[in-house]
Chain A
Amino acid sequence: MRVLVVEDDDVTAEMLAHALRDFGYEVEIAGDGREAFRQVRTGRYRLVVSDWEMPEMTGVELCRQIRSRLWSGYVYVILLTARSGTQNVVEGLNAGADDFISKPFQPEELCVRLRTGERILSLEGRDLTIFAMAKLAESRDPETGAHLERIREYSRILARQLARRTDFRDQLDEESIQMLYLTSPLHDIGKVGVPDRVLLKPGRLTQDEFELMKRHTVIGGETLEAVARAHPGAPFLQMACDIAWSHHEKFDGSGYPRGLAGDEIPLCARIVALADVYDALSTKRVYKPAYSHETARDIILRGSGTQFDPAVVEAFLERERRFITVRQQLADCEEPGEEHAPAQPAVC
C-alpha cells in the first residue's frame, strides 16, 4: 500500500520513509502541505502521514483541505506531532485527522498506527461492494449518471443537520449517519425487478405501468429483508431495507407502497425521500429538463408536511448551499438546461 509522508525536515522524512519501506509500504515524500495536497489529488494515496508544523501549509490545514473535497475513496490522515494536551488533539480531530503519532516517532508505534489505518480503509472495501451493487442495479437506467453519488451526499448533509436538533440527536449519531451514507444508494435496488418496457419507457407511464414501477419498493424491500434476516448482525442491512421499502412514502400518508405517515416512516427513508426528489428535480430526465436549484427548492417547500417531513425540509433549507455545491461538484456531463417548472412535481 502507498503512503504519502509529508515532512519539511528531510532528515526525519527520510527516516520515516525508510522505516515504512521496511514495514512493506511504498512511500513517497512531499516536502510541504501544498505539494502533499497536489499528490493526494492524483488519487494514488489513501494513507497520509503528515508533520503538524510546516511552513506555508500546516498538517492541520492539509487535513482541512483534504476533508473539504469529495474523493473517490477515504483518505486516512495521521498527524505527527510533538504536541500534547487535549486542546491540540481536539484541533487535529476537528480538522479531520484520524490519528496521531508522537514525535520523535517510534517504529513500532508507526507500524501499529498504519495497520489500524489500513484496517479502517479495508472496511471501505465492503462499502464499495455495496455501492457497486447499487450501481449495477442503476446501470439499466442510462439517464441517472452520478445520481447515487449525489444521493448519499445529500442524505449525509441532511442527517448531519438534523443531528444538531435535540429531537433527532438520539437517532442520528455519526455511526448511523455513516450507515445512511452507505445504504442510501440502495434505495432503488428493486428496479432490477421492473421490466425494461416500463423502466426504460421514454414517455408517460400508463396507470398499469406505474403500478409495476411502484413495485420496485416492494421488490427491493423484500430482497434486503431476506438478506437482513439471514445476517442479523449487520444493522446496515436493516437500514437499507427501511430505505428501499419507504423512500416513496409521503409524510401525509398518501405515498406508497404501504401508505405510512409521519413517524411511521423510518427517519432514514424520510431523509432519502427528499434527497431523491431534489436530485430528480435538479437533473435532466427523459420526461423533464433539469430545474434550477431555486425551482427545485420551491417544489420541495410546497411539499413540506405533505410529501416531506417538515423537519427534513428545514434541514434542507439550512444547508441548501451545500446542496448547490454537491450538485456542482458531482454534476453529470450534460449541463442543466433551463426549466419550465410544472405546477406539480413530475417525480413519482
Chain B
Amino acid sequence: MITQQPNYVASALDLDELVDRCMGNLEFVDRVLTKFQQRFGEHLDELEQAVAQDDAERVALLAHRLKGESASVAAGALRDRAGEIEALGRAGRIASIPDCLQRLRGDWARFTESVSTLDL
C-alpha cells in the first residue's frame, strides 16, 4: 500500500493499482489524473450528444473509449458503467441508455470529488 486512502476514494479509484501502473511515480499519477478528468469530461459530453442523436454505433465507440481510459486509471465504477453503455450501444438498445448515462454522471461526480481530496 503506497498511499492511505479513505473508503469513499477506494470505491471510485484503486490508487495502488494506478500507482503501480505509473511505475510508482506520484508526480506522474497526478498528471495522469488531471488529463484523465479533462478527457473523460469531454468524452462524456460527446457520448451524451451521440445518445441524443440515437447514433448507437458512435455510442458504443465512445463508451468503449471511456471504459478503456477508466480501466487504465483503475477507476473501476466508471469502467463498469461505461462497459454497460457500450454493450447497450452494440445491441442497438439506445432507449435503455439515458438511465445508465445518468448513473454514469453520478459515478463521475463521485470520482472527481474523491480525487479532489487526494493529497499526492
Taking a contact as CB atoms closer than 8 A, the residue among B39, B61, B71 that contacts A10 in the complex is: B39
B22 within 8 A of A: yes
Q: How far is the CB of B84 from chain A (nearest CB, A)?
A: 14
Nearest chain A residue, comparing its CB with the CB of B73: A11
Given contacts A18-B22, A107-B21, A107-B23, contact A9 B28 (CB under 8 A): no
Contact A106 B21 (CB under 8 A): yes
- One digit per residue, 1 when the CB lies within 8 angstroms of any chain A CB and 0 when it does not, for chain B 43-84 equals 000000000000000000100110111011110000000000
A318 within 8 A of B: no
Most buried by B among A10, A12, A55: A12
CA of A19 to CA of B19, assembled, Å: 11
Contact A12 B64 (CB under 8 A): no
Contact A14 B35 (CB under 8 A): yes
Q: How far is the CB of A14 from chain B (nearest CB, A)?
A: 7
B20 within 8 A of A: yes
CA of A51 to CA of B64, assembled, Å: 12
B26 within 8 A of A: no
Contact B21 A55 (CB under 8 A): no
Q: Which chain A residues border B36 with CB–CB below 8 Å?
A: 11
Total chain B interface residues with beta-carbon distance under 8 A: 20
Given contacts A10-B39, A11-B36, A55-B61, contact A18 B68 (CB under 8 A): no
B25 within 8 A of A: yes
CA of A301 to CA of B84, assembled, Å: 61
Give the residues from 1 to 57 in chain A that come closer than 8 angstroms, CB to CB, to chain B: 8-12, 14-15, 18-19, 22, 51, 53, 55
Given contacts A106-B21, A107-B21, A107-B23, contact A15 B32 (CB under 8 A): yes
Contact A8 B65 (CB under 8 A): yes
Q: How far is the CB of B35 from chain A (nearest CB, A)?
A: 6
Taking a contact as CB atoms closer than 8 A, the residue among A8, A18, A53, A55 that contacts B25 in the complex is: A18
Q: How far is the CB of B18 from chain A (nearest CB, A)?
A: 9
A342 within 8 A of B: no
A210 within 8 A of B: no
Contact A9 B21 (CB under 8 A): no
A285 within 8 A of B: no
Q: How far is the CB of A253 from chain B (nearest CB, A)?
A: 64
Q: B interface vs A, CB < 8 Å? A: 20-23, 25, 28, 32, 35-36, 39, 61, 64-65, 67-69, 71-74
**15 cross-chain CB contacts under 8 A:** A9-B39, A10-B35, A12-B69, A14-B32, A15-B22, A18-B23, A18-B28, A19-B23, A22-B23, A55-B61, A82-B68, A104-B21, A104-B74, A105-B21, A107-B21
